[in-house]
Structure 1
Amino acid sequence: MFYTVDFNTVAQEFCTFYYQQFDADRSQLGNLYRDQSMLTFETSQLQGAASIVEKLVNLGFKKVVHKITTLDAQPASPSGDILVMVTGELLIDDESNPQRYSQCFHLVPEGNSFFVFNDIFRLNYA
């Protein structure tokens, strides 16, 4: 199958940008989502950029640092959608023990860019 974009490169660049922005100022992530976007964060399900950003901003911690362990990407449709699966660790505030997480993004092309159509986040407990 022929793809006009390198989905692995798009996924890598997206995740680098997403987590850097999340760790620096997660209130600025709204431009990555649209009104039809959905976030499942643990047990909460939200739809729309404003609701998603409100959830992310009010998570109850000030500082967070994400570290990607694995990143896998696949084409998700003939339209150019990309499915991205991330596992990693995050440090919250001044904790010294990282928490493991998994996150899945469904990226949809829009013009020369992509937006997050679906975002599923889970902490992975031992």
Structure 2
Amino acid sequence: MASKPVWEQIGAGFVQHYYQQFDSDRTKLADLYTDASCLTWEGVGFQGHKAIMEKITTLLSPLLQSLPFQSIQHSITAQDHQPTPDSCVMSMVMGQLKADTDQVMGFQQTFLLKNVDNKWICTNDMFRLALHNFGA
């Protein structure tokens, strides 16, 4: 069996690390973002390390908007990775998450990773729950 391309290895390694840290201690994600990083969370944008970490560490439960969730568990069902022309790696993740006692929900997340000083950082991060309003 041929080994995976380097961008697949980088992307898969990042995804595994990201969700392990997110599920156990979100504050440990701080090293993955810089002041130039951007996050779009459910259509709302955040730019810079401080704003992103404030959002990530104070996320609200999707079903109980006034209560921060205490625990979360992600299950990755699919991930795809591509190299970009400027030597970055784009990763798209699909999966399910469970926050506290909320129902299991699908989600999609896309990361753009860049090597800065021999360390892969997230320059762009886009997250959406896979919720649909079919009654509209």
TM-score (norm 2): 0.84
Listed one character per residue, the Cα deviations across residues 34-56 of structure 1 (whole Å, up to 9, x for unaligned) are: 10000000021000111101001
Does residue 1:85 correspond to 2:97, yes or no? no
Whether 2:55 is the aligned partner of 1:55: answer yes
Q: Which secondary structure does the structure 1 equivalent of 2:125 belong to?
A: strand
Where in structure 2 are there 5+ consecutive unaligned residues? 60-67
TM-score by length of 1: 0.90
Partner of 1:26: 26
The 2-side partners of 1:85 and 1:43 are apart by 17
Q: Deviations over 1:66-117 (max 9, x none)?
A: 110100000012x32000000000000123x310000000001112221100
Give the SS at the match of 2:34: strand
Task: Identify the structure with the greater strand proportion.
Answer: 1
Q: Could you tell me which residue of structure 2 aligns to residue 16 of structure 1?
A: 16
Partners in 1 of 2:124 and 2:75 — Cα distance?
A: 21
Please, what is the CA RMSD of the aligned residues? 1.2
Query: SS at 2:69's partner residue?
Result: coil
Q: Which of 1 and 2 has greater Rg?
A: 2
> What residue in structure 2 maps to residue 71 of structure 1?
79
Percent identity over paired residues: 37
Distance 1:46 1:28 in 2: 18
